[in-house]
């Protein structure tokens, strides 16, 4: 039986500037005072369960809009400053070096660079010049799951390959002070900034051994989560029907597990995109899974907010750090985003056996 690719422990870093729920409400009341939608937006923000978020700039700078060009310059500066350390940690977690990596998948929906940051990383961090580059820019929050799945696909096509996933989401750089729709105001209190990275090893490693993946697009929902690209940059648009999308997606997750011979209600771990509290509550209800089984996703939402494609990597990191599952434990990763798109993966927990130690010359082996 071929070796399964293994998703190793992610590394995650959040910026130093912190904004609490109370501060978010205070700023919203001040900046959008008198707006008709404000009372509803404040109630929705209070119900997100987000205690705090981390931002790449102090809040007063975040609230100013210096123009799209300057914001994208900040994105480039901050991504180059923050990604290398996270990547080094992720490589260390996987027991690999830069030259062991065959592919870099870079996911981000909050800034634009061409060439992708992958080229800069290869030149600056010692990756081989024949390292393949796969930038993913337009799957939004689903891109973390998509990156895991494309890494899995690559390792199946090229056995023994190693794939590095990098997620850089600086959501605060997309804040638009003139947008005062309920969806925009809610997003202002929900999204946070983070950088995450993880390695999928083609062989060896401890983590989630990837067995099956799938994608699903809910028909005719492509306008429900979107960017309007204007002179001032990316304007986030959110349809009020988005929180209800777990009802049609739950059967898709159930069928994926059933097709693999598993019962989605009885898996050992669940790594779910924390798009908001209703997403997690509805999915647990429709799948008939105890809400506590989503505790890692709830913790990410509470402590960091919705960090877009980095959510699933952070929730997985928390699973590693809480109490690693036993070898053979079954689990699922699911990311949701624009489209409306779901990216899902099934796998079992794999523990890498320590390498045998050769006996010292002259000693007897029992």
CA angle, 141 as apex, 328 and 48 as ends, to 5°? 95
Angstrom distance (rounded) from CA 169 to CA 78? 10
The Cα 207–Cα 163 span in angstroms is: 14
Cα–Cα distance for residue pair 208/252, rounded to 1 Å: 21
8 Å CB contact between 107 and 118: no
Q: How far is CA 168 from the centre of its chain?
A: 9
Q: What phi and psi, each to the nearest 5 degrees, are found at residue 184?
A: -70, -45
- In angstroms, the CA 312 to CA 315 distance is 5
* 148 burial level (CB within 10 Å; 0-12, 13-18, 19+): buried
Q: Please state, in angstroms and rounded to a whole number, the distance separating the CA atoms of residues 79 and 106.
A: 11
Name the active-site residue from 109, 141, 168, 174: 141
State yes or no: is 109 an active-site residue. no
Which residues is 238 bridged to in the sheet? Answer: 225
Indicate the Cα dihedral angle 43, 44, 48, 52, nearest 10°.
-60
Rounded Cα distance between 154 and 262, Å, is 24
Q: Give the three-state DSSP class for 150.
A: helix
| Beta strands, E only, 2-44 | 6-7, 11-13, 17-20
Could you list the active site residues? 141
């Amino acid at each position: 039986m071929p070796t399964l690719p293994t998703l190793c422990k992610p590394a995650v870093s959040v910026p130093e500037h912190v904004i609490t729920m109370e501060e978010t409400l205070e700023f919203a009341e001040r900046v959008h005072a008198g707006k008709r939608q404000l009372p509803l937006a404040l109630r929705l923000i209070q119900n997100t369960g987000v205690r705090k978020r981390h931002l790449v700039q102090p809040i007063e700078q975040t609230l100013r809009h210096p123009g799209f060009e300057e914001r994208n310059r900040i994105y480039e500066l901050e991504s180059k400053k923050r990604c290398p350390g996270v990547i080094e940690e992720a490589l260390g977690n996987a027991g690999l070096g830069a030259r062991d990596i065959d592919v870099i998948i870079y996911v981000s929906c909050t800034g634009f660079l061409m060439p992708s940051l992958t080229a800069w990383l290869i030149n600056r961090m010692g990756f081989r010049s024949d390292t393949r580059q796969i930038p993913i820019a337009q799957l939004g929050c689903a891109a973390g799951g998509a990156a895991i799945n494309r890494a899995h696909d690559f390792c199946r096509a090229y056995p023994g390959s190693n794939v590095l996933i990098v997620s850089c989401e600086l959501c605060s750089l997309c804040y638009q002070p003139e947008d005062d729709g309920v969806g925009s105001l809610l997003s202002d209190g929900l999204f946070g900034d983070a950088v995450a990275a993880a390695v999928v090893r083609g062989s060896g490693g401890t983590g989630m051994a990837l067995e099956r993946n799938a994608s699903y697009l809910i028909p005719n929902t492509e306008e429900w989560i979107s960017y309007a690209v204007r002179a001032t940059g990316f304007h986030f648009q959110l349809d009020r029907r988005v929180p209800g999308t777990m009802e049609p997606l739950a059967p898709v997750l159930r069928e994926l597990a059933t097709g693999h011979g598993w019962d989605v209600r009885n898996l050992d771990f669940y790594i779910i995109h924390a798009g908001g509290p209703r997403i997690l509550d509805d999915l647990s209800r429709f799948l008939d899974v105890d809400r506590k089984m989503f505790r890692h996703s709830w913790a990410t939402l509470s402590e960091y907010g919705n960090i877009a494609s980095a959510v699933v990597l952070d929730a997985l990191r928390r699973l590693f750090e809480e109490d690693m599952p036993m070898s053979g434990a079954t689990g699922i990763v699911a990311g949701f985003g624009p489209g409306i798109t779901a990216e899902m993966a099934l796998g079992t927990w794999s523990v890498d056996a320590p390498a045998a130690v050769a006996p010292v010359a002259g000693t007897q082996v029992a």
